Amino acid sequence: MSHKIGPRNGARVVARAWTDPAYKQRLLTNPDAAIAELGYGGMQGEHMVVVENTPKVHNLIVCTLCSCYPWPVLGLPPVWYKSAPYRSRAVIDPRGVLREFGLDLLLDVEVRVWDSTAELRYLVLPERPAGTESLSEEQLAALVTRDAMVGVAKVAPQKGSSA
């Protein structure tokens, strides 16, 4: 299982959404079916919600009560996602948490925190970085990080650099 699921699955979903507007629409309106189109789904991804980042809206995912996380698209959560510091502060001080991850958002960007208190599992659709128009879907997928799909980072235009 640790070989079949992981954030590369989610990255392929994101790259498809960036390159195929009809797929993106399906992903936002019927995420379970759209994610299944790429062959992903199952335990802890039975009821997916995809939230889209834009220049004016930044989404952040947390589970304050335990550690709910969309396994089929992101794999099992990292230790920090399950830790008390993240779970306690993501809802009361999301901007402080994002700064700790190196992301300083302007006040006119609206931050939406999604607390996974029920059986819905969340995936952030990050913004496609500028200057990536010539990249293939596969090259785009290589840029997408787990952190960007949880909402604690943006996607950088080049692999390894920070946004």
Partner 1 sequence: MNGVHDMGGMHGMGPIHEEKNEPVFHEPWEGRVFALRRAMGAWGKWNIDVTRHEVELVPPAEYLRISYYERQLAAFLEMLVKYSFLMRAELESGTPAASSPKAVPALTPEKAAVLIAKGVPTSRNVAVAPRFRLGERVRARNTHPVGHTRLPRYARGKFGIIHRDHGVFVFPDTNAHFQGEKPQHVYSVRFAAHELWGEQAAPHDSVYVDVWDDYLEPA
One symbol per residue from 47 to 86: x for binding partner 1 (CB under 8 A), - otherwise; what is it?
x-x------------x-xxxx-------xx-xxx-xxxxx
* In the complex, minimum distance from the CB of residue 156 to partner 1, in angstroms, rounded to a whole number: 16
Whether the CB-CB separation of 40 and 72 falls below 8 Å is answered with yes
Among 115, 127, 142, 163, binds partner 1 (CB under 8 A): 115
Residues 6+ apart with CB under 8 A from 59: 51, 52, 53, 111, 112, 113, 114, 122, 124, 151
Kind and range of the H or E run holding 146: helix 146-150
Among 8, 19, 23, 41, binds partner 1 (CB under 8 A): 41
- DSSP-based three-state secondary structure for 57: strand
d(CA 163, CA 155): 6
Task: Name the segment binding partner 1 (CB under 8 A); options: 13-21, 22-30, 108-116, 132-140.
Answer: 108-116
d(CA 28, CA 17): 9
- DSSP-based three-state secondary structure for 91: helix
120 interacts with partner 1 by CB under 8 A: yes
Residue 35 corresponds to which tokens in the numbers above? 């994610």
Among 15, 26, 114, 143, binds partner 1 (CB under 8 A): 114
| Residues annotated catalytic, as ranges | 63, 66-68
* In the complex, minimum distance from the CB of residue 151 to partner 1, in angstroms, rounded to a whole number: 12
* In the complex, minimum distance from the CB of residue 155 to partner 1, in angstroms, rounded to a whole number: 17
Using CB under 8 A, list all residues that contact partner 1.
1-2, 6, 41-47, 49, 62, 64-67, 75-76, 78-80, 82-92, 94-95, 97, 100-101, 107-108, 110-120
